[in-house]
Copies of this chain bind each other. A is one copy, B any other.
């Protein structure tokens, strides 16, 4: 079937059209989830009028051109209401009914929760409390980078308002005065297991939002006229974002499920009765308003320039090289933007801020919002580099995981890796970051040991697909590579030749490995030293050759034993079928404070420990 009506009647018929459209959205949510045998129709039904009114006269989008720069953006932060989203897309003519009815089937674009396999979906949702932060990031992008007129509409559930990431989004949207962001909060009172913390107390949400600086409108979410007023008010509010706090009823319109607990996340029991109660199947089409046809995104002119060069033999922290190189990269590419979690003088992203203040965004100590903003920026084609202490990227791990589901292309830099940071102690030491970032689908993990290598890695990093991560060190380390060296992603450097035993390190442990090789050389032991700066993907050919040509490998990492460099080497050897002895050195006890060299020694990852392990392989 194809929509029988397209084009919205005006005047007195409009409210009736919207009521009918809302009922259709309910019916289609029920039909699709019943066909699938799973899904969230009741969570969809509560927001039907909110979406009907939004589609009819407020959302501005060329559905034939999902990438039109003038488009508004619609994010379902309550991603489980996917039946409603897909029903909206059908009503707007973006997809047809046949596709809608493939909901949750293998290979269908109608996934259980929305992902960007659908071109009208900017980002994946389904982990609650992420859509609004990303929407705020996108609003910031449209406002401060693109200078585009589009608006970001975010449908939020009331349950997800308990997520701290929502606070971060509220704070940042207010701080940056984002009047292009509208949160539609679907207060249907019921979560998955029972009543939410605040039930139908709309003021619980609007008081908080106003205290933070948002404009708020409380509204009966099932009255199209009131919703119309609220959306118009949001559109007319300048200088601050608006939250439309809508009182709604979960499962609205179907007595079997309406306002009842125990009806979350499952199809209705009696599909036909439910559809009858809603007035039967409909086939309305809605013409979504067109975007500004002339809208064109701003671009930044850049002067060009060279990446920094560091003198061989000098001593420079890789985090410092990162800052300088990122600034230089920003002078060559206008699409590069930088974000930091209020530690830009530690990560040295302050270098970028000084060079390109319009493209630097302070995210304060809100790592989840930092990631969300990066995800929002890459939606519009910008290439964000987000930096903080590597340990604190764990704060945003769910956002990183979901960014991969969003097929996001973005770059992360984590500084202050491992026990080598010294006196600040374990709370500041990233010792699980390699494991966590390797276990992100499609990720790249880089870990340079010197300043020139860091600078040279940034350039390919800025073109990588997916989530790429660069691990940087706090302390200064000797520059061992000349500026002419190339460091392909997936490569490695054999920095010392040898045929007795192989030492594999990266970052600080590469330098410890070189020192160990010196000590071993004094004993007549020829150690090969491999700089495994690309931890994922890993240079399997070089590792395989080392396994075949030497008596064994010592891997050494400033990281817990699990999931890091050593495990990457073992997995590579297993894959190529190279059979050799491997001694994995890693941090295995909880460190305290101390000098870097004391902590490296205690952890058993310093030159002495490496040499001992190498000798044991040769025994």
Docked-complex contact B392 and A398, CB < 8 angstroms: yes
Docked-complex contact A425 and B599, CB < 8 angstroms: no
Q: How far is the CB of A2 from chain B (nearest CB, A)?
A: 25
Docked-complex contact B162 and A168, CB < 8 angstroms: yes
Report A186-199 CB contacts with B as 1/0, cut-off 8 Å: 00000111001100
Q: Is A28 an interface residue (CB 8 A)?
A: no
Contacts of A490 in B (CB 8 A): none
Docked-complex contact A599 and B106, CB < 8 angstroms: yes
Q: How far is the CB of A202 from chain B (nearest CB, A)?
A: 13
Report A555-573 CB contacts with B as 1/0, cut-off 8 Å: 0000111111011101100
Contacts of A571 in B (CB 8 A): 561-562, 566-567, 570, 584
Docked-complex contact B592 and A106, CB < 8 angstroms: yes
Report A430-472 CB contacts with B as 1/0, cut-off 8 Å: 0110011011111000000000000000000000000000000
Contacts of A435 in B (CB 8 A): 435-436, 438-439, 562-563
Q: How far is the CB of A431 from chain B (nearest CB, A)?
A: 7
The chain B residue sitting closest to A343, CB to CB, is B192
Q: Is A575 an interface residue (CB 8 A)?
A: yes
Docked-complex contact A111 and B401, CB < 8 angstroms: no
Q: A366-B162, A425-B126 are in contact. Are A536 and B562 (CB under 8 A)?
A: yes
Binds B, one of A7-15, A58-66, A205-213, A249-257: A205-213
Contacts of A146 in B (CB 8 A): none
Q: Is A365 an interface residue (CB 8 A)?
A: yes
Contact among B36, B366, B423, B582 with A164 in the assembled complex (CB-CB below 8 Å): B366
Q: Is A108 an interface residue (CB 8 A)?
A: yes
**Which residues of A from 576 to 602 have beta carbons under 8 Å from B?**
577, 579-584, 589-590, 592-595, 598-599, 602
The chain B residue sitting closest to A583, CB to CB, is B574
Contact among B193, B365, B427 with A344 in the assembled complex (CB-CB below 8 Å): B193
Contact among B105, B113, B164 with A594 in the assembled complex (CB-CB below 8 Å): B105
Q: How far is the CB of A151 from chain B (nearest CB, A)?
A: 24
Contacts of A350 in B (CB 8 A): 193
Q: How far is the CA of A618 from the CA of B163 in the complex (A)?
A: 51
Contacts of A407 in B (CB 8 A): 590
Q: How far is the CB of A561 from chain B (nearest CB, A)?
A: 7
Q: Is A129 an interface residue (CB 8 A)?
A: yes
Docked-complex contact A197 and B364, CB < 8 angstroms: yes
Q: Is A117 an interface residue (CB 8 A)?
A: yes
Contacts of A165 in B (CB 8 A): 164
| Copies of this chain, count | 2
Q: A171-B197, A366-B164 are in contact. Are A113 and B425 (CB under 8 A)?
A: yes
Q: How far is the CA of A112 from the CA of B343 in the complex (A)?
A: 17
Measured as residues with beta carbon below 8 angstroms from the partner, the interface class of chain A is 35 or more
Q: How far is the CB of A117 from chain B (nearest CB, A)?
A: 7
Docked-complex contact B590 and A108, CB < 8 angstroms: no
Q: How far is the CB of A572 from chain B (nearest CB, A)?
A: 10
Q: Is A548 an interface residue (CB 8 A)?
A: no
Q: Is A87 an interface residue (CB 8 A)?
A: no
Report A481-515 CB contacts with B as 1/0, cut-off 8 Å: 00000000000000000000000000000000000
Q: Is A38 an interface residue (CB 8 A)?
A: yes
The chain B residue sitting closest to A597, CB to CB, is B106
Contacts of A115 in B (CB 8 A): 425-427, 592
**Which residues of A from 75 to 103 have beta carbons under 8 Å from B?**
79
Report A391-406 CB contacts with B as 1/0, cut-off 8 Å: 1101101100110110
The chain B residue sitting closest to A536, CB to CB, is B562
Contact among B127, B391, B392, B441 with A391 in the assembled complex (CB-CB below 8 Å): B127
Contacts of A366 in B (CB 8 A): 162-164
Contacts of A108 in B (CB 8 A): 592-593
Contacts of A564 in B (CB 8 A): 439
Contacts of A398 in B (CB 8 A): 391-392, 394-395, 397
The chain B residue sitting closest to A443, CB to CB, is B562
Q: How far is the CA of A534 from the CA of B395 in the complex (A)?
A: 27
Q: Which of A112, A196, A582 has the most CB of B within 10 A?
A: A112
Q: How far is the CA of A423 from the CA of B162 in the complex (A)?
A: 26
**Which residues of A from 320 to 372 have beta carbons under 8 Å from B?**
342-346, 350, 362, 364-369
The chain B residue sitting closest to A206, CB to CB, is B211
Contacts of A124 in B (CB 8 A): 426-427
Q: How far is the CA of A536 from the CA of B117 in the complex (A)?
A: 36
Q: Is A240 an interface residue (CB 8 A)?
A: no
Contacts of A559 in B (CB 8 A): 439
Q: A125-B427, A574-B581 are in contact. List 9 more A-B contacts (CB 8 A).
A: A104-B593, A106-B592, A115-B425, A115-B427, A127-B392, A163-B366, A441-B560, A566-B571, A567-B570
**A contacts, CB < 8 Å to B:** 36-39, 79, 104-108, 110-113, 115, 117, 124-129, 159-160, 162-168, 171, 175, 191-193, 196-197, 207-208, 210-212, 342-346, 350, 362, 364-369, 391-392, 394-395, 397-398, 401-402, 404-405, 407, 423-428, 431-432, 435-436, 438-442, 536, 559-564, 566-568, 570-571, 574-575, 577, 579-584, 589-590, 592-595, 598-599, 602
18 contacts across the A-B interface (CB closer than 8 A)? A104-B425, A106-B592, A106-B598, A107-B592, A112-B593, A115-B427, A166-B167, A167-B168, A193-B344, A193-B350, A210-B211, A395-B398, A402-B427, A439-B560, A439-B563, A567-B570, A571-B584, A579-B580
